[in-house]
């Protein structure tokens, strides 16, 4: 209730991107406070029960994490885990640094409980993200944090050269991440969603898998799991086709779903509450198609533990959120994970 009052009187009156930047900087700063560095891993202990959950053959501290898009440059991983997220997916990271689209590029859709954005993969590039993850992994507490890396295509890279662009990011991030996600489903990079077609997607996934394997082998690290993230706007037969490709290539799973362009609110992809129903349906369809082995991360529209539970009941192994942070405040992840692990 206190946060919602602050949201109405302060944040709601601010430009959405400016409010996000302010909150993000505070979270990142909290994670850098020296006295807290040694207790990041134990920060979840007061409210988690048992031994977390299993995914990728590993222990994940809690089933609800932060989705790609919030921490684009791996600057606030420690702070986000302190707030109660069980894992953090950084990115979307591109091989080349890029400023993203022109502002304004983020809008709140308060009546819908959503956020609309056309950010355009603004980030400092894969090399900068890798350097921050390397620093994180240099400490015992940093190695204990479960971190995924979401990679996308650089805007200036032609679609015909997308495989090499994704592979560059994979080679830099694979030795430092607990899993990789190939993002071909953002609506804010021209032509990106066209890469979800099986013929376009296959060479990208093959190139990323090969680059990641070379990088981890060279670094003496275990093989990193590889997933692909899809849009909610794919027709069901296309969802099935991507799932079949994941099985064909022996990949480790899928993330469902990204933002939707099925709205009449203006440009950009819509996230938040309107995605929940379709997201759960896609996860249920994927689980039926993929069987029991591959990991599914369900994301889209989660505001409560009950929302996250709907994804888990549909077949997801893990869940993620981002937009709920805007409306529910800094203790949102803690409440969701408490409800799930009770």
Task: Point out the residues that are catalytic.
Answer: 186
Residue 117 marked as a ligand binder: yes
Residue 258 marked as a ligand binder: yes
Reduced 3-state DSSP string for the chain = CHHHHHHHHCHHHCCHHHHHHHHHHHHHHHHHCHHHHCCCHHHHCCCCCCCCEEECCEEECCCEEECCCCCCCCCCHHHHHHCCCCCEEEEEECCCCECCCCCCCEEEEHHHCEEEECCCCCECCHHHHHHHHHHHHCCHHHHHCCEEEEECCCCCCCHHHHHHHHHHHHHHHHHHCCEEEEECCCCCCCCHHHHHCHHHHHHHHHHHHHHHHHHHHHHCCCCCCEEEEECCCCCHHHHHHHHHHHHHHCCCEEEECCCECCCCCCCCEEEEHHHHHHHHHHHHHHHHHHCCCCEEEEECCCCCHHHHHHHHHHCCCEEEECHHHHHHCCCHHHHHHHHHHC
Residue 257 marked as a ligand binder: yes
Residue 155 marked as a ligand binder: no
Residue 323 marked as a ligand binder: yes
Residue 122 marked as a ligand binder: no
Residue 146 marked as a ligand binder: no
Residue 337 marked as a ligand binder: no
Residue 224 marked as a ligand binder: no
Residue 47 marked as a ligand binder: no
Residue 319 marked as a ligand binder: no
Residue 85 marked as a ligand binder: no
Residue 123 marked as a ligand binder: no
Residue 121 marked as a ligand binder: yes
Binding residues for substrate: 72, 117-121, 183, 188, 258-259
Binding residues for FMN: 92, 150, 183, 229, 257, 272, 301, 322-323
Binding residues: 72, 92, 117-121, 150, 183, 188, 229, 257-259, 272, 301, 322-323
């Amino acid at each position: 209730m206190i946060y919602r009052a602050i949201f109405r009187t302060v944040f709601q009156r601010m430009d959405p991107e400016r409010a996000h930047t302010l909150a993000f900087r505070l979270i990142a700063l909290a994670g850098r406070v020296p006295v807290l560095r040694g207790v990041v891993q134990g920060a979840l202990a007061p409210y988690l029960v048992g031994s977390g959950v299993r995914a990728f053959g590993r222990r994940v501290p809690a089933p609800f994490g932060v989705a790609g898009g919030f921490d684009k440059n791996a600057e606030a991983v420690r702070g986000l885990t302190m707030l109660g997220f069980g894992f953090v997916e950084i990115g979307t990271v591109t091989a080349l640094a890029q400023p993203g689209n022109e502002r304004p590029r983020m809008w709140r859709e308060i009546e819908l409980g959503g956020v609309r954005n056309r950010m355009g993969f603004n980030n400092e590039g894969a090399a900068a993200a890798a350097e921050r993850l390397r620093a994180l992994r240099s400490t015992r507490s940093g190695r204990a944090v479960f971190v995924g890396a979401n990679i996308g295509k650089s805007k200036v890279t032609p679609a015909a050269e997308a495989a090499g662009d994704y592979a560059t990011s994979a080679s830099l991030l694979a030795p430092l991440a607990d899993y990789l996600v190939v993002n071909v489903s953002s609506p804010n990079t021209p032509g990106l969603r066209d890469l979800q077609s099986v013929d376009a997607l296959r060479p990208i996934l093959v190139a990323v898998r090969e680059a990641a394997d070379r990088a981890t082998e060279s670094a003496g690290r275990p093989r990193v799991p590889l997933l692909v993230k899809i849009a909610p706007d794919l027709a069901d037969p296309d969802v099935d086709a991507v799932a079949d490709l994941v099985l064909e290539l022996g990949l480790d799973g899928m993330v469902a779903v990204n933002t939707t362009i099925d709205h009449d609110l203006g440009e950009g992809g819509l996230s938040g509450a309107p995605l929940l129903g379709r997201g759960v349906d896609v996860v249920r369809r994927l689980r039926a198609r993929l069987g029991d082995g591959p990991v599914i991360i369900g994301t889209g529209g989660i505001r409560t533990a009950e929302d996250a539970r709907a994804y888990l009941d549909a077949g997801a192994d893990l869940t993620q959120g981002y937009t709920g942070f805007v409306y529910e405040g800094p203790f949102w992840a803690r409440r969701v994970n408490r409800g799930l692990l009770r």
